[in-house]
Structure 1
Amino acid sequence: MSNAGRAASRISRGTLDDGTVIPRRMRVAIVAASWHEEVMDGLIAGAQRVCVEAGLDPELVRVPGSFELSVAAAVLASRKYQAIVALGVVIRGGTPHFDYVCQAATNGLTEVSVHTGVPVGFGLLTCDDEKQALDRAGLPGSSEDKGAEAAEAAIVTALTLDRLHA
Structure 2
Amino acid sequence: MSGHGAPALAVDGSGVRVAVVAGLWHTEVVEGLLAGALRALDAAGAPEPTVVRVPGTFELPVAAARLAAAGYDAVVALGVVVRGGTPHFEYVCSAATTGLTEVAVRTGVPVGFGVLTCDTDAQALDRAGLPGSKEDKGAEAAEAVLGTIAALRAAGALPTPVPA
Q: TM-score, length-normalised on structure 2? A: 0.88
1:106-145 aligned at under 5 Å gives the runs: 106-145=97-136
- RMSD (CA atoms): 1.8
What are the superposed Cα offsets for residues 68-101 of structure 1, whole Å, 9 maximum, x if unpaired? Answer: 0000000010111111110000001111001000
1:10 maps to which residue? Answer: 9
The percent of aligned pairs where both chains have the same amino acid is 62
The alignment covers a number of residue pairs equal to: 154
2:162 maps to which residue? Answer: none
TM-fit CA distance, 1:158: 1.3
Q: Name the aligned partner's letter for residue 155 of structure 1.
A: L
What are the superposed Cα offsets for residues 105-153 of structure 1, whole Å, 9 maximum, x if unpaired? Answer: 0000000001111111100000011000000000000000000000000
1:1-166 aligned at under 5 Å gives the runs: 10-11=9-10, 16=11, 22=12, 24-56=14-46, 57-164=48-155, 165=157
Structure 1 runs of 4+ aligned residues shifted over 3 Å read 4-9
SS at match of 1:90: strand
TM-fit CA distance, 1:7: 5.8
Contact 1:27–1:58, Cα closer than 8 Å, also in 2: yes
Query: Which 5+ residue runs of structure 2 have no aligned equivalent?
Result: 160-164
Find the aligned partners of 1:161 and 1:5 in 2 and give their Cα distance: 25
